[in-house]
């Protein structure tokens, strides 16, 4: 359930047209910082694109442990967050401030941060992503217990 406390280097990122510019900025900054970034799209800002088409493959890559963590961006971040949380094993949250960016990982093993490309500026987004990537799950018994309840709910709701 929890990721190893080692250095995270494998990051996935996805956006629809509303988050395209912010995604491009973050991809550059992440690569410059030494991260291996998998870009799940979109390559071009096409107004007819739909956030589930790019966020679901990102979320599945996280759930399958093909990437360590992810960043999903749409106009507000809300739609990306809603669809990401439909994938079992993904714990996504819309983040607009630093405390939740680290606390969500430390307590809830957050593995996907959602941002609003039309809401959050580039420098704040970079700060939030950096905080999210630097944070580690505490592994505290109470947090593991709560995550077990979340996993049980996912299994029950999916019929597994």
A 10 A CB-CB count for 106 gives 15
Segment 83-95 mean pLDDT: 97
pLDDT in tens, 99-109: 999 999 999 99
pLDDT in the model for residue 158: 82
Query: How high does pLDDT run on average in the chain?
Result: 92
Q: Which of 124, 106, 103 is nearest to 115 (CA)?
A: 124
User: Which residues participate in catalysis according to the annotation?
Assistant: 74
Per-residue pLDDT at 117 exceeds 80: yes
CATH of domain 10-158: 3.40.1400.10
pLDDT at residue 160, as a whole number: 67
pLDDT in tens, 44-76: 777 778 999 999 999 999 999 999 999 999 999
pLDDT (tens digit, 9 = 90+) per residue, 15-43? 999 999 999 999 999 999 999 999 998 88
Tokens for 21, please give them: 């510019």
Q: How far is 65 from 40, CA to CA, in rounded Å?
A: 15
Question: pTM, whole model, 2 decimals?
Answer: 0.91
- pLDDT at residue 8 above 80? no
Whether 2 shows a pLDDT value over 60: the answer reads no
123: tokens are 């420098």
pLDDT given for residue 45 in this prediction? 76
Taking residues 116-139, report their average pLDDT: 97
Q: pLDDT at position 7, please?
A: 53
Q: How many CB atoms lie within 10 A of CB 149?
A: 9
Residues in the chain: 160
- If you average pLDDT over residues 115-142, what whole number do you get? 97
Residue 21: which of 51, 45, 41, 37 has the closest Cα?
A: 45
């Amino acid at each position: 359930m929890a990721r190893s406390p080692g250095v995270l280097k494998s990051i996935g990122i996805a956006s629809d047209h509303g988050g395209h510019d912010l995604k491009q900025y973050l991809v550059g900054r992440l690569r410059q910082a030494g991260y291996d970034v998998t870009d799940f799209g979109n390559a071009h800002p096409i107004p007819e694109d739909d956030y589930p088409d790019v966020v679901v493959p990102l979320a599945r890559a996280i759930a399958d442990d093909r990437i360590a963590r992810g960043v999903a961006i749409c106009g507000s971040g809300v739609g990306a967050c809603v669809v990401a949380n439909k994938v079992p094993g993904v714990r996504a949250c819309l983040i607009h401030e630093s405390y939740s960016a680290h606390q969500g990982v430390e307590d809830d093993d957050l593995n996907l941060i959602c941002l609003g490309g039309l809401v959050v500026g580039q420098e704040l987004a970079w700060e939030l992503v950096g905080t999210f990537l630097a944070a580690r799950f505490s592994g505290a018994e109470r947090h593991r217990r709560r995550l077990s309840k979340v996993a049980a709910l996912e299994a029950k709701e999916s019929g597994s």
